[in-house]
Amino acid sequence: MALNDDMQNSLSTRHVTFHDGTAIPCIGQGTWNMGENSLNRQGEIKSLQLGIDLGMTLIDTAEMYGEGKAEELVGEAINGRRDDTFLVSKVYPHNAGQNRIITACENSLKRLKTDYLDLYLLHWRGSFPLEETIEGMEKLFQDGKIKRWGVSNFDTSDMNELWNKANGSHCATNQVLYHLGSRGIDFDLTKWQKDHSMPIMAYSPIAQGGSLQKELLENKTIKAIASQHQVEPLQIALAWTVRSGNVIAIPKASKENHVLQNAKASSIHLTEEELQMIDKAFPKPTRKMPLDII
């Protein structure tokens, strides 16, 4: 689609870099719950395409989402523009054994109508030994089916364990829940990942809609900063998640105005003073918290 001036100004400019030197825009797009209602299908496809136009080229999906329906929808949305996108999918823990993971990945590729993933994640830790999952991921990498691999919902102790396995340090990222109302990872995982040059992928970065999101957006500090920047409070919440340069946020949006707002959030720079105000309103944890998981 042709972009007007306002849209051009929204183009995502800040990037996050993986250990292999690949840099991607710091705000991408989630797809959980997409592809499940035929009435919303065309709107969801258009939203993803608009997001790509606006520079949110990373698309996050999973074999779990609608049992493959979200992957199929993404396949349709990126038809003819695979090279413009950075595709992420995830394997169910029960498919993360060495042989099953190959089949699971091939099925995801078929649904996505592509022959490679840019990133393949273990969705959460299950009962297969990590060694087996790593071996499967490495085989997929050697066969050219994935460009890199990572994990999701791993806490610091899980990351240490992974890192110390053979080839565990090839892990490119860890995707975890992170938003203003859930910043438990700032106790130690954020630092662990920075020290290991590993970007964090922040899921549910705007608290999934609903009551918690409303609560965050009605906070007077967030409202005051938003008014200063002449943007919506939610854009401040999103800009906050990507402030460090080592976090990629993946908000899901199926409405055009939401997509536009999210894309614009990547060019909002919060000052030190504003970050301190936010820290006062939403304090960093002072002790280890269990990893929040949805």
Q: What angle do CA 122, 184, 224 make, to 5 degrees?
A: 120
* Per-position DSSP letters for 62-126, written without gaps between them: -TTGGGGHHHHHHHHHTTT-GGG-EEEEEE-GGG-SHHHHHHHHHHHHHHHT-S-BSEEEE-S--
Closest distance between ligand NAP and the C-beta of residue 252, in Å? 3
> Is the CB of 60 or the CB of 72 nearer to ligand NAP?
60
Q: Which residues are catalytic?
A: 65
Closest distance between ligand NAP and the C-beta of residue 135, in Å? 22
For ligand NAP, the nearest residue by Cβ is: 30
> Is the CB of 18 or the CB of 154 nearer to ligand NAP?
154
Picking from 140, 92, 85, 87, the residue whose alpha carbon sits closest to that of residue 111 is 87
103 φ/ψ sector (left φ>0, alpha ψ -120 to 50, else beta): alpha
Picking from 185, 282, 184, 183, the residue whose alpha carbon sits closest to that of residue 225 is 282
Residues that bind ligand NAP (CB under 6 A): 30-32, 60, 123, 152-153, 175, 203-209, 234, 250-255, 258, 261-262, 294
Closest distance between ligand NAP and the C-beta of residue 206, in Å? 4
Closest distance between ligand NAP and the C-beta of residue 294, in Å? 5
For residue 68, the Cα-to-chain-centroid distance in whole angstroms is 18
> In 153-172, which positions are buried (b, 16+ CB within 10 angstroms) versus exposed (e)?
bbbbebbeebeebeebebbb
Going by their DSSP bridges, the two strands 15-17 and 23-25 should be labelled as antiparallel
> Is the CB of 62 or the CB of 278 nearer to ligand NAP?
62
> Is the CB of 125 or the CB of 142 nearer to ligand NAP?
125
Closest distance between ligand NAP and the C-beta of residue 205, in Å? 5
> Is the CB of 127 or the CB of 142 nearer to ligand NAP?
127
